[in-house]
Structure 1
Amino acid sequence: MKTTVLNPVQQHLLTMFAFDGSEERLKEVKEVLTQYFSQKLDKCLDQLWDSGALNQEKLDELRTKHLRTELQK
């Protein structure tokens, strides 16, 4: 059986939840993480827009692309 090594973030979350693993705490952590990564994404997209790597033309092109791949059986 292969062992899984936890990264420092996973270890910290496990330690934190050892003290209070309630559903309410889980909801709060999910909200904080969602907000955090949403802000990082917004900042990255703003940088792409400002640099010209992303613009309205490219967004329009993406809107019409079929990006899903079929699952292999």
Structure 2
Amino acid sequence: MQSQKLSALQLELLNIYSFQPKEEDLLAIKELLARYFSGRLQKNIQKSIKDKNITEEDLDRWLNE
């Protein structure tokens, strides 16, 4: 079996878990990460829409295909 290196994010999360945080803290961390990555995704989508001149009509048409 091939070993895989952990990413910097995975290592940081392992450090957090090693302190045995409370369940409410883990839920807060999950929510924080979800908001962060959701925000990044939204920024990337908006950039792509702008760069490729995609209109609202294009998006509506794709949704209805």
The TM-score range, normalised by the shorter chain, is: 0.7 to 0.9
Identity across aligned pairs (percent)? Answer: 31
Task: Mark the runs of 5 or more structure 1 residues left unpaired by the alignment.
Answer: 66-73
Partner of 1:54: 54
When the two structures are aligned, how many residues end up with a matched partner? Answer: 65
Q: Determine the C-alpha separation between the residues in 1 that align with 2:60 and 2:2.
A: 45
The residue number in structure 1 matching 2:21 is 21
Q: More helix per residue: 1 or 2?
A: 2
What is the letter of the counterpart of residue 33 of structure 1?
L
| Cα distance change of structure 1 residues 2 and 50 upon mapping to structure 2, 3 Å threshold | closer
Secondary structure in structure 2 of the residue aligned to 1:20: coil
Gaps of 5+ in 2: none
CA-to-partner distance for each residue in 1:25-71, whole Å, 9 max, x for gaps? Answer: 21011111111112112212222233344221221232123xxxxxx
2:32 match: 32
Q: CA RMSD in A?
A: 2.0
Q: Could you tell me the TM-score, scaled by structure 2's length?
A: 0.73
1:69 is aligned to: none
